Structure 1
Amino acid sequence: MRIGGLASGMDIDSMVKELMTAEKIPLNKLEQKKQYLEWQRDDYREINKMMFNFDNLIFDSVMKQGTYAQKTVSVSNPNEFTIRNLNSTSDFSGTLQVEQLASAATMFSGSSTGIDPSKKLSDYITGTQTIKINAINPDGTMQDKPTEITFDPAEETIGSLINKINSVSNVSMFFDSATGKVAATAKNTGNNKDGAEIVLEGDFFINVLNLQLDNQAAATAGNGTEGQNAKFSYNGLATERASNTFTINGFEVSLKNASNTPVTFSSSPDVDGILEKIVKFVDQYNKLIEKVNGDLNEKRYRDFQPLTAEQKESMEEKEIELWEERAKSGTLRNDSILASAINKMRSDLYSPVSGAEGLSQLAEIGITTSNDYLDRGKLVINEKKLKEAISKDPNAIYELFAKEGATTSEKGLARRLRETLDATMKNVEEKAGKGSSTNSTFTLGRNLDNIEDQMDRFQDRLIQIEDRYWRQFTAMEKAIQQSNQQSMFLMQQFGGGM
């Protein structure tokens, strides 16, 4: 601890602090510059995050064919069947007459097994056992290879073995403790034109569960049923399916009842669903260009530099907030990367799509540029015109946004936009990096590292300067003290002579 001023009576500590305050002015400027660059870096990253989110929205909405495949399907008697669109961009209509629903093959024990489900199977069979189960697939064919299960009767009960069968095979089994019988049902519906739908192999099935070897034999014995296909007529054409749920022309049909009565159905574009996706795209585009335009035109207050820690200590919290609001303003003003991106995005959306068979411009579907110059290129939607375009040909709108092409002019509007966003995000990342970037990998980061190095060197210099001041004041104090001592000596000498 340094204590000065004992000889001179001066407040040396305060004097050194005041001198160092002046010496620290260049360091404060470096700290302010560093803070400003950090604000600028963060503002760049905020823009990049918005662009990234907008890019994902484009991909998941207006560029996705499924967006335009949304259909509203009406059925004259929904109790007979339901229809939903999977991936068709065309409409689907006609008449369906359901004659028979698909059902699964079954079989069950001819008589009680007499098994106690709590006992190990070794009470009924001995030695390592292997059973095989073959059953119908969802498409109406049989498995290429039966499912095999090898087990030790001393380790299994009927319940544990049935659980294994149910988990690995296409058959579901159930032991009814009330009757002592086992029921087996194919997990998939349908009829196997070449034979049985359930085929079992193994002494366990025959000698322990009292089951037939397949469901056809069980049906003949009165202990089971054969699987059957769904039978129906589509626009007068009689046909069959192994399942009650199947696909026709990209639409999923689910049969519910077989009344053998003609039922009409028709589909049309889900105008509201498609409209919602396009409106969301426009809204996010407008928010992005509003943000970028705002940053490009935000005023820079050069008289409001970032506050130092010492300055903040002498200010109220509200004063600091108002000051920094202006100090942070204009970090991206007139930025060339963002200005170029905005111009390119406008060009992407307003230039016609070359070679398009249907629509070629946004205006054709009711999306135009705002007439208010303060909106700076925001899009506005004529909802009535857009709905008409969706109703007429949603696939044409998909092509307008997502068309592929060898050149930019031939590409769809959204495809162009994503390329511009991708290029801009890369340029911004080169300048401002991202959250996981190290400073050495981007321009502002390298500038920040350089300022840190300057600050470290200046801090070392300040320590030397402060030491010099203290040495000088200490030397002055010593000189004053010697002078005081000499004066006292002389006074004593003169006093003695009296």
Structure 2
Amino acid sequence: MVGITGIGSGMDIDAMVSALVTAERAPKESQLATLEKATTTRITSIGSLKSAISTFQTALGELTEANKFQGRTATASKADYFSVKADTTAGVGSYDIQVKQLAAGSKVALAAVAPVNGEPATFGGGTLTVSIGAGDSFAVAIDSNNNTLAGVRDAINKAGAEKGVSATIINDEQGARLVLTSTKMGDGADISVATVADAAGATGNTALSTLDFSAPAKPTDPTITDPPAPTSPSAARMITRAQDAEISVDGFVVKSASNTVDSAIEGVTLDLKAATPEGEAANVAVSLDTAGVKGSIEKFVEAYNKLIGIINSETKVTPIGEGKTPVTGALVGDATARGLLSTIRNELVNVQGDGAIRALADLGITTQRDGTLKSDTAKLDKAVANNFSEIATLFAGENGLATRLDSKLKPYTETGGILEQRNKSMTETIDKIDKQREDLTRRITALQERLYKQFNAMDTLVGQLTNTSNSLLASLENLPWAAGNKD
């Protein structure tokens, strides 16, 4: 119906209907837009508040448990020889460490295999068993599919992967030979190879027993060279004997089948890298992790200030000039924000205990005019150095500040908590606004149609009346007594 102009009356019906519809729609649309903007802003503000609380809770998590204050740091005076770390069971102290030797795995070179009559060596069929010390071994079957040196290498690599054994081929003046390497360390974990021929298996030009190797016993006489020299240039030989790591801790000898030594000093793990020079030692110092605790306290202050900053900005009223409406935060007058702020501040000023550290102020942490915290680094350092155990009492444990604060904050951030319920309620408000807009659109459409019908009916009536009037006037003008009629 839009676009129809009053034919009978000459009135602009479109403009009249549009003006009436706009007058009806505008107030409600403005109301809904204002509510939507305010609600959306509050949703954003509540989201920022929840994020800041979560960050603060993460910082509190580093201070809630007493064992967080039992951390240890360990340092080595010579990091080239080993690295060190300590857990909470390590005793505070200093230790002199000498690394006599590193743990090593076995490495052997099997006998050289020369070509036969110009043809590459091939082996008879059978079984090849690789042993790593006395209690660990694996076997590979040798047949026509893998009876070359490369085939044996591949079979060992496939079967020995889980055992930590790998094979490669080296070519020297004597021919080609397999070199086997084991990652298993410790005394006695030497590689041996035993073969059993199978007469019904593959045929070859070289006996499978050529690959046999028996690890020689470790000599008891320290003057004897170990590993022993090969009996001939082409013979199998031990390149590296598997051995334990050996260290000295304050003069006491400790052995380990691994270069990671965690049994020498309680709570301390050494990762050995190289042997120390003869007669030299590296020092290991184990101390309380005061730097870690100080860092956790600084994170606490930083996260708290972020939270307070968001609360301040969202609840602040900012004047912008005389006679002008001030800028207000989205949570001005909000009971949730007020309650949260009050709860946190009450816990901060709660003094407990009777020692030297009873409140944050004893750590040099004080409240500023805007509600944020300020940390006196020098005073905090002194408190950490002199009253370390009392700091744990202040923050951790059932009645500690961090524990109490975390308990007070959980109702706000937990699933189904205060902030989630607030967000759900505001989201529902947005949904209702959309529904009201749809209802408004239907109502305005119906109004528009009704107005067009009424105006068009009026226009038709005016047209009819005009036509009747014109007809009467014409008839009257034709009457004998009409003025100017000469008939």
| TM-score, normalised by the number of residues in structure 2 | 0.76
Distance 1:21 1:486 in 2: 35
* Aligned residue in 2 for 1:39: 41
* Aligned residue in 2 for 1:317: none
Does 2:247 align with 1:232? yes
The offset of 1:93, in angstroms, is 0.8
The offset of 1:464, in angstroms, is 1.6
The offset of 1:66, in angstroms, is 6.2
2:362 to 361, 364, 379: 364
Q: How does 1:158-307 map to 2 (within 5 A)?
A: 158-165=152-159, 167-178=161-172, 179-192=175-188, 196-198=189-191, 200=193, 202-203=195-196, 207=208, 210-214=211-215, 216=217, 222=230, 223-224=237-238, 225-247=240-262, 248-255=265-272, 256-258=274-276, 259-269=278-288, 272=291, 274-298=293-317
Distance 1:199 1:112 in 2: 16
2:145 to 139, 154, 171: 154
The one-letter amino acid paired with 1:112 is A
* Aligned residue in 1 for 2:101: 100
The offset of 1:213, in angstroms, is 4.5
The one-letter amino acid paired with 1:239 is V
Deviations 1:233-271 (A, max 9, x none): 212322222223312332322332242434433244565
Distance 1:272 1:299, change over 3 A: same
Distance 1:264 1:43, change over 3 A: closer
Contact map agreement 2:139 2:159 (CA 8 A) in 1: no
* Aligned residue in 1 for 2:382: 388
The offset of 1:45, in angstroms, is 1.5
| TM-score, normalised by the number of residues in structure 1 | 0.75
The offset of 1:477, in angstroms, is 0.6
Distance 2:212 2:355 in 1: 64
* Aligned residue in 2 for 1:28: 30
- Choose 1 or 2 for highest CA Rg: 2
1:473 to 446, 455, 458: 455
Unpaired runs of 5+ residues, structure 1, are 137-141, 302-321, 434-441
Identity over the aligned pairs, expressed in percent?
Answer: 23
1 or 2, which has the higher strand percentage? Answer: 2
1 or 2, which has the higher helix percentage? Answer: 1
Contact map agreement 1:62 1:277 (CA 8 A) in 2: no
2:406 to 415, 418, 427: 418
Unpaired runs of 5+ residues, structure 2, are 198-206, 219-225, 231-236, 480-484
Distance 2:66 2:170 in 1: 51
Contact map agreement 2:130 2:191 (CA 8 A) in 1: yes
2:57 to 39, 55, 59: 55
* Aligned residue in 1 for 2:395: 401
Contact map agreement 1:199 1:215 (CA 8 A) in 2: no
Distance 1:152 1:290, change over 3 A: farther
Contact map agreement 1:50 1:288 (CA 8 A) in 2: yes
Q: RMSD value over aligned CA atoms?
A: 3.8
In the comparison of the two structures, how many residue pairs are matched?
439
Contact map agreement 1:135 1:170 (CA 8 A) in 2: no
Q: Could you tell which deviates more after superposition, 379-388 or 422-431?
A: 422-431
Distance 1:66 1:430, change over 3 A: closer
